[in-house]
Structure 1
Amino acid sequence: MEHINDEIKFLTSTVKGIARQFGDNCEVVLLDLTQHEKYGSGLIVLIENGHVTGRKVGDTGTNLGLEVLRGTDQEGDKHNYLTKTKDGRMLRSTTMYIRNSENYPVGCICINFDITSLMMAETAIKEFTDLNKINTDVKEVFVNNVNDVLAVLLQEVQSFIGKPVAHMSKNDKLKGIKYLDEKGAFLIQKSGDKICEYFGISKYTLYNYLDIIRKEQDM
């Protein structure tokens, strides 16, 4: 009898411990299957957070228990599977059977974690982070001063042309300067000096290139 009482204390402690570890959304149930021939009310002998499925002590088990007791399901234990309550809430569930020395199920512990709110949150997050619904063509950079904006634009030129400035031809540089002009780089005060330094050209050449570019645009 003392041995049985120790087992009951351990199982009770386990049920309560799991429920407290995972909070109010985690239902933990202990069922007594020793009276399996009367599979009906009275199987639940301990339950924590019964509001998850709406059950209480004295209520019955589920259809899975019937399959195990009948022998249809030899494995019995099931871990991390999806279930649904009568009112449509989604649960992540685990069922673990307690067996006697003859490997016959005499009880089981069931864990049912309500993940409905988590799934709703996941849906909301995906709605905001779905790149298929976000315009990724706009390139905006947040910096502290306008010189940093110019530095970013100069970095973009190399990606736009597809080669480092040392390997750029005259036509490449024309394309690069046209890119900078369209991006408004020349509206930045003293930007011409830095652009000349970047391309390795004189101011005279820069203004000559700009003249060519803008004449082409006016045609």
Structure 2
Amino acid sequence: MTARREHELHEEEVLRLLASAVRVIGSVVGNNVEVVLHDLRKPEYSILEIANAHVTGRKKGDAVIAGVRTDKAFISAMEESSEPISLILDYETSSRSGSPLRSSTAVYRGRKNKPFAALCVNVDHAEIKRAITLLEGLANIVPPQPTKSRRGDQTAEPEPDNIEVLMHEIISTATEQSESSNRNDTKKANLLAVQKMQERGIFIIKGGVEMAAKALGVTRYTIYNYLDELKNAPR
């Protein structure tokens, strides 16, 4: 048996163990807590196991980019590390409908320190918001009215499930403010757009770099330079 095959079998075993952990944890936590396991070797249909899927509206077989709006774990997954497990704990995210979440993620690395799995926990804060609304009502406090979208809706539309459509939607949203006649302003806008794409996991998906480069009117090597610049920027 080759060393590569041994690594693959090890990764499969880890994924099986983590999938069992998702089912066990999901059976006892509240229904506002989503537990999800990603197979990062197959980002186009990465969700291997999920509990309380209604929190983000996903299902088994969905793509890694079909989840929360921003996720610091995607940045960690792309960074080089010699650590077999990277922990990104208690950070803010939001669901596809805009509901605030608290998240924690463990990224597992295997052969050549390449990420192959991510175990994520997302906690929905909607119940807290409802409790605040109730308390405001009891105290006779009128909360501010939500701002309507251009279509007149007060709630965000769910994102499409098709991977190509979803990638285009993410890139389109990220590049809305990237156009400028000033060279410095253009670079800043491009960096911000690339950062938003990175937080949505675009660059984990095959072809994501090329799609981002085309949308911004730059080369794929420029995208890599932007990613390096973001990686080395102070946090």
TM-score by length of 1: 0.47
TM-score by length of 2: 0.44
Larger helix fraction of residues: 1
Specify which structure has the bigger relative contact order, considering alpha-carbon pairs within 8 angstroms and separated by 6 or more residues.
Answer: 2
